Amino acid sequence: MTQDTTVCRFCLESSNTKKNPLIDPCECRGSVQFVHERCLMKWRRLNPSRNGEYCLICLTPYQLKELMMFEDVPDENKISLLFLRFPILTCFTANYILIFHVSFERKKTFFDLFESYQYGFQIFYFFLFFLEWKVRNSRLYWKHWMNLASLYILFLYLGSNLLLHHGIYVAILPINLFLGLLWQRHLHTLRLMNQA
């Protein structure tokens, strides 16, 4: 390997720094062997349909450090993610089912039923959230995340406090506000990471 071949296959520069090192992520050799970490990241971002998981020249999957994996940002418009986008929908759905239930059965009180449906849908929400919560570069993710963590902890504290002392009727709004922000923050963090 001579010094001449140690250039980035995309930008043709030979700079090699800790922040943006020249790497050889695939089986390609010769003039296309090296690429800047960031140049490769940019290229992969511009080719989301191919997902940038493998080299289009030699067809081998890129060998990348954990930090360089491309994050899959969920499509916000997917109908299955409607609950995650609008957690307040859990309240509406619980209410809607309750109306049907109450018209059939009158043994329990209205509020008992509301409470059980509401808890059910909140649990469903959390289940959906953790099903869709996929992060590849978790260390980088949490670093970004912690910048705004205090705001979320405040909401969670407020919601859980109200839940413990006054039940779910009172806690519903701050909890769903918290969950909605949490999901937005999750998507935002993933997008930020892909831009790094």
| Residues found near Zn ion in the complex (CB under 5 A) | 8, 10-11, 26, 28, 36, 39, 55, 57-58
Q: What is the 3-state secondary structure (H, E, C) of the chain?
A: CCHHHCCCCCCCCCCCCCCCCEECCCCCCHHHCCEEHHHHHHHHHHCCCCCCCECCCCCCECCCCHHHCCCCCCCCCCHHHHHHHCCCHHHHHHHHHHHHHHHHCCCCCHHHHHHHHHHHHHHHHHHHHHHHCCCCCHHHHHHHHHCCHHHHHHHHHHHHHHHHHHCHHHHHHHHHHHHHHHHHHHHHHHHHHHHC
- Taking the least distance from each CB to Zn ion, the nearer of 28 and 156 is 28
- Taking the least distance from each CB to Zn ion, the nearer of 21 and 167 is 21
- Taking the least distance from each CB to Zn ion, the nearer of 63 and 147 is 63
